[in-house]
Structure 1
């Protein structure tokens, strides 16, 4: 079924977002031949059921629809991130990674069979009407979402710009479900935002790792230096609520701040899934103090960056425990223009840490100003909460201690940013470094 199609490796380190997504018969059969008769028997069982349904079901059914449904069920039994993409969804997935797509602007996953919001994307229709992390989507228009697949949900939520869709939301604190009417728009995700916090101190926020994230970061750093006399005294890199994205972009971002050594490595069953990514000296930023901000919405590619800079002692990681998605998905094009999104490897930080279902533990735990009690949930869904998530592969007892959680809304304006408690704490830490450095020089 694959024919001569070459596996196209697009390593997506994202949480199950707005794009979700059969194994070709030829490949499956070849593996079965190598692995023994039991697999042949299972395939025979499948074909028997298919034939019975085709012959005896009360209505005539489309074979491709049955096959697609079977493939979806097969992949759903593996983990939350492996999925099948029919041609239309595969096409949209490729558009998503470029940072422009039509829809509402929310990143979703499935928890306990319920569509759940990971995070709204800032400055999008969903964000503007007040959709929040942790919201459970009970209904899309008049259709209940219980046991609805992400693919079906995406189809219902996407549509022409200017059209409306109603989401019925269940949220902690609501007496009853509340309906939100959202007007669809073309979502333009701005990957990198930046500003000068104070004289010599820069701030860069990465909202999502897209095709142009690295080049946008280069421009941001250059502008910040130009604004501050040609150099920086310190930098805050904000990865809060960053759900991840392209692995190669995460590596390039980390490479700007690490002169040499390992950034991340992956381990899987296939030889092609075992990779190492190392820093290059060229293009490395000067060594100035850095603080990385993370929270429960920081996942995958953002965890790669935070973990790499933490292991290299290049930055202090501040905030709260991250999401904990330590797996790599490979996109495999199929011959009918559909695609397979398959978990093929785990990734590890330079020191060999797997953060799968655990997350990155900050060096300095800093909650938002409105600190909630430990008994209250923050609304963030983490990898370990997802059905069928797999473990990190490390021995029991090595998991990091859980920390209290929080919700951090995406930054919209400079004024909001300057009043952000976690950003202010990060800036204070950077200034403290500068003071200590000055004091040591004066001795």
Structure 2
């Protein structure tokens, strides 16, 4: 045996040992465009951390929520990193289901995270989920269709204006719907939109004594306005459309307006993805003059379940994916307009980002205007803008979402949907002990 053969064999053995000793962490994430982009860029992480391999489980939003909730509640241990939101983070942290993120590294700069976003992901001053991107919601609209309709979109429109514009922009013979709004049932799908919308109409989920409020005129006004608007100016089959379905419709030029997550702005304004990229304008979510706009506050974030056996590797990945360096990486590969928005103050102070992202100012204004502690016109006993931060809301919100989706589909009346929502909410809140 030659020396060269011995050396080659030794190198091969070392390489095989390195592969064998690499720790694999499993990451559960949502199939949104920013998360898909992150997966394509993870060579940067594995090159810097050759002892860590990544395994992805990418799921549709409702399925993701169901899987990670079941896994963490039953201590299943399937995932080492979970993509969760502003709703789950404080509840799960309080139950001891998440590890505090206190080893993200000296250069991570936790203080740079936007205060509204950081506060929603913390408990007792400790960060329990690191924001990958933060969002509110706003109006994205076709400037050419608005001009054709003889209207000018104000920076801060009312629901009345949105209704007028949507009906004027609708041209179903040309395949153009005046407005696209979420209709797919789910506490984080149609109910995220409708709860935020209801805030601007003066509605609330519960009064100060936790009594459900679906039998009040504010909810009736909200749901009547929504269903009539969608019937007059929305797409066919809207009760099956969530974020991704409406995104596709807007990109294809089939929506005059879309009121949804601010994070979508980078996609609809990207000519690689959108046929209307050069025609998109932005405005704040609508109001009714009561002092609250119909916009939410959310962050898709990375958290580490307390049951993982691979916490150190998981935290390295979280630090990489949500740190400043990742923003620079996306900017270098995809351009500043495609950097995950809504998480860091430094991004909005960056002149390059401001220049590349015409939606930056409106996104920041939308995030800053949402107040989870005072979401509605009337006082409430809960925290959360488009959700109620109690464990029971996940199931209850989805049940109510199914009723409202059925009303949109014409399978029941608005009055029947609201009556059933009231009935099921009273029953659930009484069973859970909120109503004495």
TM-score, normalised on structure 1? Answer: 0.28
Higher share of residues assigned helix: 2
Ranked by relative contact order (alpha carbons within 8 Å, sequence separation 6 or more), the top structure is: 2
Higher share of residues assigned strand: 1
TM-score, normalised on structure 2? Answer: 0.29
